[in-house]
A and B are shown apart, each in its own frame.
Chain A
């Protein structure tokens, strides 16, 4: 157990030392918020169901942070650890694979929590962001979403042979997803055809669930989102157990 906590703590420090990781999970979403917040402000608008631009952007940017940690940080971390021989070095120690993977999950939970806290605080302080939903429901939705994307990251890490292929695979999935799922551009701004296509992106369900919980929707209105995300977790764990490779 001591090994798991120590490993988690070291991994969290390593994520923060990685310029790309820290930038995209902590700085970039804040920059987006400040940029669009200063352009559009946060006046309530009928277009967004009585909420302002910032109110509906923060859950979207939170989804982006989640996507970033699960897809980018986790997939590249595991793939590069395998390619460089870091996993190999851990192999003859008493630390077992489930502890190695659990430490990644915990460390990335830490990273996403930091990124989302930064967003929330900025939103509250600068734009008087309105959060109508129940805080517990919001935390639960964030947790479920984060786990589902970490599961996706583990599956990709198990499939890609090298860090290079990991990077290109992640890019191909990441960019369409963050622009078309409603994470960065509110779905109200997207044409109907794109909204229909975006149903194939797992991130769309994260955005729907988070936005719903933010404005106080009951869970019963988001059963599909919950089912999709929970399914990703179950499937992800099952696949990862089969595809984990030390080298």
Chain B
């Protein structure tokens, strides 16, 4: 058991009336990894995570978490998992410390919520009402509630939606802390950047189907997208000789702006070196590397929309 997958999903299927929300999805989540499920709104991410948490009954296929069937043995599973849900709330006039104290009382074993308050950066908000918290503070409190029982696996559904970039980065650090303390993290997001920077492995979901699953680096490599480097050189010199560099596949020039392409990020160093050696002064240099966004575009044939 200790070495088996933490989450095992096989041919999961869930329909609402005529709509197929999840259509035969299979994957496994290994112990200690941050596993991300990405896809546009309505791709079936939340349905999948809620089937795994035991909040929805699958119409087909099987789900086990820590070797337990969440539908049949939910009472055995619930003490061992932590969850942050997409649309949920606390009573408006509950105080931050009361919420943590209350949720701690639901479990046989819980962590000291005073320590948790410090770690979440909510110490000075301990007496604030839930309704008075900012979006980021609410999310941090929800993360606290998800961690109160020191769970083995934590589920985070769209936890940075609606947050500003600063709050989002603070939350990413908290998620990395969870992994570093030995927990398995299963999250969903529709931010490709979040998945790329945070997750050890990423599953891309579209129309209820799993269309790709690998590490972000492998996924990006698999589509064979090119790295592009763009810069400006005054005087419009002929730079077509850059094509002779082994890592360059093409050079385009419009006016004084040049774009050099290559299959890997090696092209950046090679081009910059070559320009310096020749004493060519360039400015306004930008690089553009393929991202998970490009992977999504490639595997689904459409743009990811927020």
Q: Give chain A's interface residues, CB within 8 Å of chain B.
A: 2-3, 5-7, 10, 13-14, 17-18, 81, 84-86, 88-89, 91-95, 246
Contact = CB atoms under 8 A, between A and B. Distances in A.
B102 A92 contact: no
Contact of A6 (B88, B89, B102, B155): B102
Contacts of A13: 98
Contact of A10 (B54, B75, B87, B102): B102
A28 B145 CA distance: 37
Contact of B103 (A86, A88, A91, A93): A93
A95 B78 CA distance: 9
Given A81-B91, A88-B87, A92-B55, 4 more contacts: A85-B89, A93-B78, A93-B107, A94-B78
B23 interface: no
Contacts of A92: 53-55, 78, 81, 83, 85, 155
Contact of A85 (B54, B87, B102, B145): B87
Contact of B105 (A6, A91, A246): A6
Contacts of B91: 14, 81, 86
Interface string B40-54: 000000000000011
Sorted from nearest, which 4 A-B pairs have the closest CB atoms? Answer: A89-B88, A6-B105, A85-B88, A92-B83
B106 A3 contact: yes
Given A6-B105, A18-B93, A86 B78 contact: no
Given A92-B83, A94-B75, A94-B79, A86 B105 contact: no
B274 interface: no
Interface string B88-111: 111101100010011101110000
Given A6-B101, A94-B107, A95-B106, A89 B85 contact: yes
A246 B102 CA distance: 19
A13 B53 CA distance: 30
Nearest to B99: A10
Contacts of A81: 91
A89 B130 CA distance: 14
Contact of B93 (A5, A17, A88, A91): A17
Given A3-B106, A18-B93, A94-B79, A10 B98 contact: yes
Interface size class of B (residues with CB under 8 A): 20 to 34
A45 B54 CA distance: 64
Given A92-B53, A93-B78, A94-B79, A7 B105 contact: yes
7 contacts: A6-B105, A13-B98, A14-B91, A86-B91, A89-B85, A93-B78, A94-B75
A93 B87 contact: no
Nearest to B53: A92
Contact of A88 (B54, B88, B102): B88
A150 to B, nearest CB: 19
A84 B88 CA distance: 7
Contact of A7 (B54, B102, B145, B155): B102
B156 to A, nearest CB: 12
A207 B234 CA distance: 94
A95 B149 CA distance: 13
B89 A89 contact: yes
A6 B85 CA distance: 22
A80 to B, nearest CB: 9
Contacts of A7: 102, 105
Contacts of B85: 85, 88-89, 92
Contacts of B93: 14, 17-18
A91 B84 CA distance: 11
Nearest to B70: A92
B79 A10 contact: no
Nearest to A94: B78
Nearest to A13: B98
B89 A93 contact: no
Nearest to A91: B55
A87 to B, nearest CB: 9
A89 B55 CA distance: 11
Contacts of A94: 75, 78-79, 106-107
Contacts of B75: 94
B37 to A, nearest CB: 17
Contacts of A85: 85, 87-89
Nearest to A1: B105
Interface string B105-126: 1110000000000000000000
